[in-house]
Amino acid sequence: MRARSVIVATAAMFALTGSYWTAHAQDGPVFQVSPASPDSRGFWSTQRQTPRMLSFVGALLPDMIAFAYELPVDPSEGRPQWLSDSRYDVAVTTAVPTSLPEQRRLLQTLLEERFSLVTRRISYRIPAYFLAQGPKVNLIPSQASVQDPDAAGVTQAACRATPRTSYTCIARMSMSDLAQRLSVDMQVAVLDKTGISGSFDIELAKLVCDVGRRCISDYTSVLDRLGLKLELHRDAPMESLVIDKIEKPSQN
């Protein structure tokens, strides 16, 4: 007999009127997908991670795809306009604490099942910045561990200790996540070359960047606090994802 399927609601994150769902077996992961509510369709999306849940509110699909596969989505390839306009609330929930790499793999499964996503990797060489270690690394190991299933996934005590309105705290961030965030914010390619593994609670300045040197200069000062630096390489090897197929999810 098949295990009874269940739907796990996360009411604090989603108003699930008209939601799209995929429910898995009771002890397996539960996928939740719904169009973003009007309140979450602003410029900034929200990402939350705990050992039992990975969720996005008001997020664009290219951003979620880049997070899931740890590769940027190639902007030069043709893709439907709705990818740049449509925002979604997405969550992967597990019954037991799950590592961040496994959460990424589950998010890949959600994207492939619910959005019919098909991608391929391409390689090329372009000018890029390498994210590297500075003279003294100053990173806070994440307090949201797999052994702590109730740990908050956005704001940690280390960040609340010195609250600053101009900074945002991102928990359980790997160095590849940080490089991807810098790539999006600075609109230049940034590759993780730190050699640092693990997840960290990181404060980042809420910078609104123009394309060009000013933004890169501003982030250099932010990275100085973390003991990291950016190194320009004129001919860097780069990989990205090309979307061969993607569809809007159909309502159940």
Q: Within this chain, do residues 153 and 232 fall inside the same structural domain, yes or no?
A: yes
What's the mean pLDDT in 197-224? 72
pLDDT band (50, 70, 90) for residue 235: very high
| DSSP designation for 5 | P
Name the percent of the chain lying above pLDDT 70: 68
Token pair 């509110």 is found at 57
Q: Within this chain, do residues 184 and 207 fall inside the same structural domain, yes or no?
A: yes
Each residue's pLDDT tens digit, 66-86: 999 988 888 776 678 898 889
C-alpha dist (Å) from residue 55 to 2, 6, 26, 241: 27, 18, 19, 22
pTM over 0.75: no
Average pLDDT, the chain: 76
pLDDT number for residue 252 = 42
Is 87 domain-assigned?
A: yes
Q: Within this chain, do residues 221 and 158 fall inside the same structural domain, yes or no?
A: yes
Q: Within this chain, do residues 200 and 129 fall inside the same structural domain, yes or no?
A: yes
**Structural domain of residue 61, as residue ranges?**
20-123+241-245
Q: Within this chain, do residues 133 and 61 fall inside the same structural domain, yes or no?
A: no
Each residue's pLDDT tens digit, 49-67: 888 999 998 888 998 999 9
C-alpha dist (Å) from residue 243 to 43, 66, 224: 23, 11, 35
Q: Within this chain, do residues 174 and 209 fall inside the same structural domain, yes or no?
A: yes
153 pLDDT above the threshold of 60: no
Q: Facing residues of 121 across strands?
A: 241
In three-state secondary structure terms, 111 is helix
Amino acid present at 202: I
- Alpha-carbon distance of 151 to 48, in angstroms, equals 11
Q: Which of 48, 67, 56, 41 is nearest to 168 (CA)?
A: 48
Q: Phi then psi for 88, rounded to 5 degrees?
A: -135, 155
**8 A C-beta contact, residue 244 and residue 118:** yes
- Alpha-carbon distance of 84 to 175, in angstroms, equals 26
What's the mean pLDDT in 27-49? 76
245 pLDDT above the threshold of 80: yes
Is 206 domain-assigned?
A: yes
pLDDT number for residue 12 = 38
Q: Phi then psi for 155, rounded to 5 degrees?
A: -115, 125
Q: Which of 66, 52, 48 is nearest to 111 (CA)?
A: 66
Domain count for the chain, please give it: 2
Q: Within this chain, do residues 234 and 130 fall inside the same structural domain, yes or no?
A: yes
Token pair 């969720």 is found at 55
Is 41 domain-assigned?
A: yes
Q: Within this chain, do residues 112 and 139 fall inside the same structural domain, yes or no?
A: no
Q: Within this chain, do residues 131 and 226 fall inside the same structural domain, yes or no?
A: yes
Q: Within this chain, do residues 144 and 231 fall inside the same structural domain, yes or no?
A: yes
Q: Within this chain, do residues 45 and 132 fall inside the same structural domain, yes or no?
A: no
pLDDT band (50, 70, 90) for residue 208: low
Q: Within this chain, do residues 138 and 180 fall inside the same structural domain, yes or no?
A: yes
In residues, how long is the chain?
252
pLDDT number for residue 104 = 93
- Alpha-carbon distance of 250 to 165, in angstroms, equals 40
What kind and span of H or E run contains 56? strand 53-60
* β pairing state of 87-93 and 53-60: antiparallel
Each residue's pLDDT tens digit, 96-138: 999 889 999 999 999 999 999 999 999 999 899 999 999 999 8
- Alpha-carbon distance of 140 to 159, in angstroms, equals 10
Is 39 domain-assigned?
A: yes
